[in-house]
Chain A
Amino acid sequence: MPSLAPSRSRAPRRIVAGEHHRSRHHGRRNLRAYLFLAPFLVVFATFIVTPAVFGLYISVTNWSPFRKRIDFVGLANYIDLFTPGALASQNFWQSMGATGWFVLWSVPLLLIIPLLVSLLLNQKLRGMTVFRTIFFAPYVLGVAIIGLVWGYIFDTQSGILNHLLHSIGVAQDIPWTVNTPWVWVSLVGVTIWWTMGLNTVIFLAGLKGINTDLYEAAAIDGAGRFQAFCHVTLPGLRPVMLFITTTTVLASANMFGQSYLLTRGGPGTATRTAIMYISDQGLSQNNMAGATAMSYILFLILAVISIINFQVQKDRTEGRGA
């Protein structure tokens, strides 16, 4: 099995390369790799790394594009976020809580449902392309449309969802976009409806890459379907699984449009997510310095989660061996 560790599995081969050729060989190898990487690195350095570094600088100043003099403020923007009772810390951590809650509910569902659906769709049968297109279709829509369409469906008094529920005997008008806990059900539900097609398609691409001989080998060994799933499909999906868990956690942690449009962050500020608060502070309230500091705190937390994720998934691979 290929390893998921960024590069570890290749390490022993370096020794084989032979001591006396080593440095020249490495030089050529490095050149070769960097030539392949060059187009990516140029754009990446300019439009991703530079702004990120600049962001770090912003976060220790009172930077604003409209300020005549920029002052260095040290860690003040960060300290604000850890001062109990301060406006920024109160709002920021509350919004982080909302984001955390959303991640907790949405991520598992966005992994399990697409995995199951992709297994169903990965059949050599008539019409699979049609089903795949239908499942993917919602993802094609922009978030503005999602907000509008579901806003109508979810309307407390005249929405079709409550209308349908009334017809099966639910007496209550459920406040899907207005009150807790229902707002969470709607936000998670809409997100699944909207984005499950994305993960499904990635899982499908992963399934296509699994060497089919392995299934035959498993069948010869007398493995049942479930065993084949556990011993062939899941391990074969590992690299893709690592990608999907990472990006799904990040996507959910960045959720913003759905609550901005459907619940307006309400009731009160209950569904105001971290990105919703940070974007408002940075782009509308002229507080980019504070917003960047918050962004980097969020970054640190996400980085820790991702490192754990990488470690866990890597360990499992190595534990199973090749």
Chain B
Amino acid sequence: MSATTSIVTRRRPVRRLTAVIVLYTVLGLLSLIIALPLIWMMITSFKTDSDAVQHPYSLPNPVSADAYLSFTSGQQPILRWLLNSFGAATIQTILILITASMGAYALARMDFAGKKIIFGLVVAMLMVPPVVFLLPNYLIVRELGWLDTMLAITIPGAAGSFGIFFLRQFFIGLPKEIEEAARIDGAGDVRIFVQIVLPLVKPALATLAVLSFLNNWNDFLWPVYVLLSPERMTLQPGLSMLQGAYREHFGIVMAGAAIASIPVLIIFAAAQRQIVDSVTGAAVKG
């Protein structure tokens, strides 16, 4: 059994069927509203620039793959940018999962001196407008000699408040008995954390992984500041360059958006599977 019983009950088959139909209708309509702009985006990516501006709401005429082809034939190292972005986002996501899960575990499940201060600081730092960090961090990264390197776009964001606050809220919800039982069995801190606690918050970890990846993937301003060579650039600033200074290449912008979003959607769908899987796991215990 799962939490699903809260809405679609198993009481009577007819009522259940009606509920399911209503549910699918509502979700279908909502999805349509949400997806329409995205569908329009995809359609536009197959238009020529003049077709896109003169007939924005008709089907492509002619159907043109020029926008996509321009990514392979241009002077800009787009494949390189894609790899840079992928590498940076992956590295940072892994770092965030490590720092945040360990830190959040301590904050949620352990007693120690200074706990309140640290958690207070974590939450407080969430409230400092991001613009405050930009120039000082630029100076720090410069002093460390990290300008124009992968370190600059992976390390500074590897311990934000978001991740640790997020995971703490999930750790806090776990029943205490789980660790106590394991401790009686003679398990140490590390084993309890890795083998017992982490699997229980898998949905949260998967969610945080997607959000962290996305955050790095879509980051725009910071890479512009700290990356200097064209071959070290990441995808987002690179793509915005291709649309042209006066946004005249509408098809390219839309094709670029499609190229940039598809990898993340695949990762999201894969992470979803993790979330669904873990439900069965969580339901067995408890």
Residues of chain A touching chain B, judged by Cβ–Cβ distance below 8 Å, are: 2-4, 6-7, 10, 13-14, 26, 29-30, 32-34, 36-37, 39-44, 46-52, 54-55, 58, 65, 117, 119-125, 127, 129, 131-145, 148-150, 152-153, 158, 160, 163, 193, 198, 201-202, 204-213, 215-216, 219, 225, 228-229, 232-233, 236, 239-240, 242-243, 246-247, 250, 254, 274-275, 278-279, 282-283, 288, 291-292, 295-296, 298-299, 302-303, 306
Contact = CB atoms under 8 A, between A and B. Distances in A.
Interface of B: 1-9, 20, 23-24, 26-27, 30-31, 34-35, 37-38, 40-41, 56-57, 95, 98-100, 102-103, 105-107, 110-116, 118-137, 139-140, 155-162, 164-166, 169-170, 172-175, 189, 193, 201, 203-204, 206-207, 210-211, 214, 218, 220, 236, 240, 247, 253-254, 257, 260-261, 264-265, 268-269, 272-273, 275-276, 278-279, 282-283, 286
A198 B211 CA distance: 8
Among B8, B24, B164, B173, find the residue whose CB has the most chain A CB atoms closer than 10 A.
Answer: B173
Nearest to A219: B5
Contacts of A145: 41, 253, 257
A299 B127 contact: yes
A4 B204 contact: no
Contacts of B130: 254
Contacts of B164: 40
B99 A13 contact: no
Given A140-B268, A216-B1, A2 B247 contact: no
Given A6-B116, A48-B160, A133-B268, A228 B136 contact: no
Contact of B31 (A123, A135, A144, A303): A135
A205 B102 contact: no
Contact of B115 (A6, A208, A274, A303): A6
B276 A129 contact: yes
A246 B80 CA distance: 37
A198 B268 CA distance: 11
15 contacts: A2-B172, A7-B119, A14-B111, A26-B113, A32-B106, A34-B106, A47-B156, A49-B125, A119-B7, A132-B272, A136-B268, A150-B37, A201-B207, A208-B279, A212-B286
B103 A134 contact: no
A193 B165 contact: no
A239 B4 contact: no
A292 B112 contact: no
Contacts of B31: 131, 134-135
A299 to B, nearest CB: 5
Given A6-B116, A145-B41, A306-B123, 6 more contacts: A2-B174, A55-B136, A144-B236, A153-B40, A202-B166, A275-B131
Given A47-B159, A123-B23, A205-B170, A129 B273 contact: yes
Contacts of A240: 169-170, 173
Contacts of B261: 137, 140-141
A-side binding surface: helix, strand, loop or mixed? Answer: helix
A117 B2 CA distance: 18
B271 to A, nearest CB: 9
Nearest to A17: B111
A225 B6 contact: yes
Contacts of A58: 136
Q: For the complex of A and B, list the 5 residue pairs with the smallest distance between their C-beta atoms, beginning with the closest.
A: A43-B159, A40-B103, A51-B136, A33-B112, A36-B106
Contacts of B137: 47, 51
Contacts of A149: 37, 40-41, 254, 257
Contact of A215 (B6, B169, B275): B6
B161 A48 contact: yes
Contacts of B236: 142, 144
Contact of A32 (B1, B110, B155): B110
Contacts of B283: 212
A250 B126 contact: yes
Among B115, B159, B210, B214, find the residue whose CB has the most chain A CB atoms closer than 10 A.
Answer: B159
A125 B31 CA distance: 16
B265 A140 contact: yes
Contacts of B240: 144
Contacts of A250: 126-127
A248 to B, nearest CB: 12
Given A32-B189, A51-B133, A133 B3 contact: no
A239 B264 CA distance: 27
Contacts of A158: 56
B37 A153 contact: yes
Given A54-B136, A129-B276, A163-B57, A40 B129 contact: no
B7 to A, nearest CB: 6
A111 to B, nearest CB: 15
